[in-house]
Amino acid sequence: MAEIYGHPFGSKEANAAITNALCRFTGEQCDGGGNRDMARIQLDSDSGIRARFSPEVIAKKIVSCAICSVNMKQGPQIICPRRLLNFGNNGYSVHQEATVKLLCKIAGFSSGASVKFWTEMSLNFTEGAKRFQYRLDYLLREELLDGTLGSPIIVEIMTCSTSGGNKNLGTDIQTAFRRSLLAAPDDVIACPGINIRQVWARMASQLVVKSEAAIAWGGKTIWVVQDTLANYMGNNTGLDISAMETTTSGEVNVISCNADQNKTPTLFSGPISPSGDLEASFSDILRAPFLPSTTDFLEKIDVPENGSFIVP
């Protein structure tokens, strides 16, 4: 475990936040990152766990598992979208200001303007037998001087999914959270691993569609990801992510953030499809990173077969 309630696990700040189950990035009681029903625990008969929380929290009888990030070989991996970027009742967190500034610049918002936002917006349209069904993390629109609203800006937050863990071994998210509440500051808490390939696949399936839709509606879509996911896409697909680094927006826009929020986020932007044979585009995310040679492939299958059949 790397962080709990937005603070390094075992720190004085984390222990203080536990009392009121207070998220550092929302300024409110942790909701587990939104729609994560599996990541909650009951405050029932475990007196040791109940003792960590205030009477106001205990009265609600349930708390979200407030694990923000987990430690992996490549460094802390953010698993909660609130940790990466959040718009809520308190606006946005000062800890995420660098990301918000870059996002507003890409969106084309005027300095000092008021921006209205909608959260978890479901879209469901039909045309004949075809369906357009998507959920938007955030929809942002600037309030213009004449009182009207500006172009729609879709914001999508992509964080790593956990692999689920093993409940018998105590590495599932609920058991890990329970143990963290009873642990000493220097204890190492085993957590579920991450499934970065699943996150990439989910993002790839929506990247083009949501970008196309926002452009058609006169706006744009901005994705916010951790830099490890951006690096994964660059290393494991045909997307040359380094060629997309820029300071101006395009058809597809990806803000890459480091887990250390003191570091400046990076913008990757470019076309959905190439206009020339050599132009890099985000459609390359669906292509292979490279193609192994026929010789290398045949060497891999130079082993006894598993069976055979006769062509009917």
Res 146: pLDDT: 95
- pLDDT, tens digit, 9 for 90 and up, residues 160-173: 877 665 666 666 88
Res 44: pLDDT: 78
Q: Are 25 and 100 in contact (CB under 8 A)?
A: no
CA–CA separation, 186 and 180 (whole Å): 11
Mean of the per-residue pLDDT values of the chain: 89
Is residue 41 over pLDDT 70? yes
Is residue 38 over pLDDT 80? no
Q: What is the pTM of this model?
A: 0.90
Q: How do the domains of the chain map onto residue ranges?
A: 3-286
DSSP 223-267: EEEEHHHHHHHHHHSS--GGGGB-SS--SEEEEEE-SSTTSPPEE
Is residue 251 over pLDDT 90? yes
CA–CA separation, 98 and 257 (whole Å): 10
Q: Are 53 and 63 in contact (CB under 8 A)?
A: yes
Dihedral sign from CA coordinates of 22, 70, 43, 62: positive
- The DSSP call for residue 158 is E
101 CB neighbour count, 10 Å cutoff: 12
CA 31 centroid distance within chain: 15
Pairing state of beta strands 40-42 and 7-8? unpaired
Is residue 190 over pLDDT 90? no
CA–CA separation, 86 and 92 (whole Å): 6
Average pLDDT on 270-283 reads 85
Average pLDDT on 229-234 reads 91
